[in-house]
Structure 1
Amino acid sequence: MISLDTIDDDTLILIFRFLTVPDILAMRQTSKRMAEVSALRIVWRNICISDVLSRGYPFSRLPLNSLPDLESLTRKAYFLGTKWLSRSPKPHTTHVFDANPSTYIEDVTFLPGKPWLLVVSKGIWSGITAWNLEAGVSRMAEWSPKGAIFNGFAVNADPDSEATLAVSIQDSSPRIQILSLRCHGNNTTAIFHTIATIRTRLRPIALQGDVLAFSDDVSDTIIHNLKDGTHATLRNVPVAGETAWQLDRCIQVVFAYRSVLVVRARSIHLFPEPVLSKSMPLYGALARYSFGWVDGVSASMTPRPNPMDRSDHPCHSTNTITILLRSESDDPWTQERHNLRFFTMKPDPLYRLAPQQDGQPSASSSPYLFPPSLTAEVPSVHGSLRCADIKLQPYGTAVCVHPKSRSVTGLISSDVHLQEMHIPDTPPVSERLVAAVFPGCLSRTGTGEETKTLWINEFNDWTCLDYNEELGRIALGSRSGSVTILEL
């Protein structure tokens, strides 16, 4: 009889390549030698490729060789992926803490690459607190320009950049302040430093490395390099039937392939990749589309395919832009279901980089097919929400809040006799945090699925949310100053 303990290490490593994550963890329990071999980095590199990356489970986009704790990340990604494919991806842990008691929480945002959460609260004036989510929740730092209100907030997508976030401050001297958040030696406390100031009334929308995008509520988006001071203006021109001053609040800016996608409340615009200079060149849109009145919207870029996997997997759609939105109506009596609609903008296979003219790329062609294509819908409901945020992530998972049942007495004058009314498909009396998986790596049907309830809020006081797909972590702020952290 040949036992596993008599097999050489190289053969055992080869055998482990054919096992799943639960199988390897079970093998680890059989003997001391199995525990030692199963802890080797090469074992978890192999299993990460076969059981996580090739399945399209959410995972870090950094090179595997740069990840220090590959086993922990692989195990978490595997169980997160299988949970999203289950019928009920309920959170396994929850934590509620008072970020700023009795103060309205305006924004919650996870910092990429770090176990930190930024909380923006609004009382007499605005303030920011930073919280460390490792080993419980602890306050790290706080910052507030006394007597001022924030009206814009953007966190850097690059965790290695010196600039951590950009904040728009409205007082007697409107400006955007670029802040850096750095820990002290013990990593339990930190401090905010102002590293740059831009005098403007515009709001910061996106920050990626040294590049900041800030916008007005009508037509202009400025792309600005913080290091060298170069910039460019992206301006959308109103179409027939619209006035030049019509409000169209900027919600999101996506730096896409050879282009910039500007998502506004009433329209989306695709601009060519600008060449930044001191003279601030002006760029018009390559394409424009309107979804009508939008209650919430989120755009994301699908992940690049894993170069080690050559299968015909649906996630091999390079650089596709996905958009999830919930429509709104100005009719409070409508019984129309306001479904969550999922759109895709695929790369144009005929696109070629156009020749440059006067040092700027020609706007004669678009790198993406326009207009966006409706790919899937899942049922949603109509109702009043303080938190209209929708968070769509690269692998197609999304979370948002569904409203509570509409109050009939709130829609009818007090001197009108109320009669019983049948309201079809009445939603629950409490607002709910729901999740859905849309076409992509994790969708079993390829056409979208029903939403799944993750959490019910009996207080009906959620004001904002954020979602980290890679870690399976969700944060929800409330009007009472508390923050709820859910771990999937």
Structure 2
Amino acid sequence: MNPGDQWHDDTSASPRESPYLRARIPRILLPNCEVQRPKEPTMFMTTVELPVDILLAIFGYLTPNDILIVRQTCKKLFEITHLRSLWHRLMQSHVLEENIPVPGLGQRPLESLTAGEIERHTFQALRFRQNWISESPMPTTEVSLSTVPNSRIVSLQFLSNSGCQWLISLTMVTPLTGPRLFLLQCWDLQTPSPTCVALRELRQIGSMAATNNPSGSAVLAVQCPQHSIQILSISPNPSNPVNGFVTLASFRDDISTPHLFTGSTLLTGDVNSRFRLWKIENPQTKIELQNPDHHQAERVLAALLDERFVVVVRSTTLEVYELPRVTPETMQERVLHPIVQHRWPWRIDTVVISAQAVWPRTQLRLPAPINILIRFGSLFPWPINLLHHYELRPNTFYVQSNSISEENLPFQFPPILRQTFGSPVRLFAPTDLVLGSCGSAMWIDSHTEDYFGHSNCGQRLAGKYSSGLMAKDHEDEEATLSDQLASTAATSVYRVHEADSWVRLALDECEGRVAIGHVHGEISILGYA
């Protein structure tokens, strides 16, 4: 003890009871002494104790599969993971913003769906996308439609209108005796076994265009010898398929061929390769699309129509025209020249064009990216064995309220070459190209050596998906054709067969359906959703 220290009379107290001794005696000398410290209040909460809005914010960063795991932990999280607001956010972030179609949703808005319906559609869309972009997608359903003997499919197109899902087919029938005829049919796809709800027999047909914006009752524009162009609709509940097609209007002014049908606007071309836009409500007023740089008129191979402009693909050029803002008082015939044009490196043999539905731009009604799939021709009687995917990307500096000009274009010009695919086609072998509304390209070609060991016959149904989400793409620089790597390994192969009987192709990407027309008149419908 040091001098000055005072002795505390705690001899009667044990080390456990004396605070002074507990402080002075080392802990090692008191093996049985448990130090009692005041219990501090905890600053942490368990996950279950968090407020519901905080949990919903956290769960918004999880995947739908993670939500199913969280759901199995406790009763509270089980109830929270069934909330509609959570699945609405998951549907928006994992499906809509990723530009994934939702099969079975149709035109129903999300606001009309329950939490269970949104959850079911979310998982169905994700499973469909995983299958659709795989190397060998597997169809979940397959249906065959038989028409008549001695026939050949000429045209196929999917249509969706007012909750109806249809397939329009045009079949050429060559009987053993007598002249050939054409069968125009509409198939209802909302039943497990599609049925023909409309049928019309045509002795002769020049061309047909199905509307790509079926907001009204008109769905088809058909060129017939009796009437220049007939506008047809489909009866909702016909007693007999023969009465299913209803003629809404007939135009006899001149012999013209329909090339594009959007809403109530038609793009038609005559024998002199003059192409004009006109509305079926006012057929007398026509707007001619004319390119003065062409020494001789070139026919239009494909076109895409918007409220403000029309994009035209000819054999050697890509052109953008501004459509005038016409009122009933100012309607008059006029000639339009392209605001801007791009010349292709070679003459086009086959081309398809389609606007890609990108969810943020669709909501804001901004111009959507335009996909163009091209097979160029060659100096020989067959086209080249490559497919080129071009894209017109939206111009972020485009001002919709101003007139379209070279300084105010809705798209970046010239188009960007996104990718080149190897797609061999044998001489005189049938082939076809289609583009989906969500970025899928599909084609029929003759690349069958990898599957059958020979190349004298056989066909392949292949495809490629492009998201169209520019923020996630890293292909901002335009590539030249020599820089592109033509590869068949990167594509999805949907089906192959050891014959040359496929002649036509149709794609409904929103519902995950593909229709294949055969040379003997059969139609195969493959479902991947």
Please indicate, yes or no, whether the TM-score normalized by the shorter chain is above 0.5.
Answer: yes
Matched position secondary structure for 1:112: strand
Give the alignment partner of residue 125 of structure 1, picking from 172, 175, 181.
181
| One-letter amino acid of the structure 1 residue matched with residue 94 of structure 2 | D
| One-letter amino acid of the structure 2 residue matched with residue 319 of structure 1 | A
String of CA shifts for 1:232-286, please: whole Å, max 9, x gaps. Answer: 323333646x434xxx443322014731012234433221123456422211222
Matched position secondary structure for 1:115: strand
Alignment of 1:39-438 (within 5 A): 41-59=84-102, 63-65=109-111, 70-113=118-161, 114-123=164-173, 124-147=180-203, 149-169=204-224, 171=225, 173-184=226-237, 191-199=244-252, 200-216=254-270, 219-229=273-283, 231-237=285-291, 239=293, 242-244=295-297, 248-256=298-306, 258-276=308-326, 278-291=331-344, 292-306=346-360, 319-331=368-380, 338-348=385-395, 351=398, 366-384=409-427, 387-403=430-446, 427=455, 429-438=457-466
Structure 1 residue 28: Cα displacement: 7.6
Unpaired runs of 5+ in structure 1?
Answer: 311-315, 407-424
Structure 1 residue 127: Cα displacement: 1.8
Structure 1 residue 349: Cα displacement: 5.1
Deviates more, 1:80-89 or 1:47-56: 80-89
Matched position secondary structure for 1:51: helix
User: Contact 1:205–1:252 at 8 Å: present in 2 too?
Assistant: yes
Structure 1 residue 430: Cα displacement: 0.8
Structure 1 residue 456: Cα displacement: 1.1
| One-letter amino acid of the structure 2 residue matched with residue 383 of structure 1 | R
Structure 1 residue 483: Cα displacement: 0.4
Structure 1 residue 190: Cα displacement: 7.7
Kindly tell me the number of residue pairs found equivalent between the two proteins. Answer: 451
Distance in 2, matches of 1:445 and 1:181, equals 45
Distance in 1, matches of 2:408 and 2:362, equals 32
Distance in 2, matches of 1:146 and 1:190, equals 14
Distance in 1, matches of 2:411 and 2:66, equals 43
Distance in 2, matches of 1:354 and 1:45, equals 33
Distance in 2, matches of 1:5 and 1:427, equals 64
Distance in 2, matches of 1:11 and 1:26, equals 18
Unpaired runs of 5+ in structure 2?
Answer: 1-44, 174-179, 476-483
Matched position secondary structure for 1:76: helix
Instruction: Let me know the Cα RMSD of the aligned residues.
Output: 4.2
Structure 1 residue 385: Cα displacement: 5.5
Identity of matched residues, %? 25
Give the TM-score taking structure 1 as reference length.
0.77
Distance in 2, matches of 1:308 and 1:160, equals 16
Distance in 2, matches of 1:459 and 1:306, equals 43
Cα pair distance change 1:234/1:49, threshold 3 Å: same
Distance in 2, matches of 1:162 and 1:308, equals 23
Give the TM-score taking structure 2 as reference length.
0.72
Distance in 2, matches of 1:178 and 1:36, equals 53
Distance in 2, matches of 1:445 and 1:116, equals 37
User: Contact 2:230–2:251 at 8 Å: present in 1 too?
Assistant: yes
Query: Is 1:459–2:499 an aligned residue pair?
Result: yes
| One-letter amino acid of the structure 2 residue matched with residue 429 of structure 1 | C
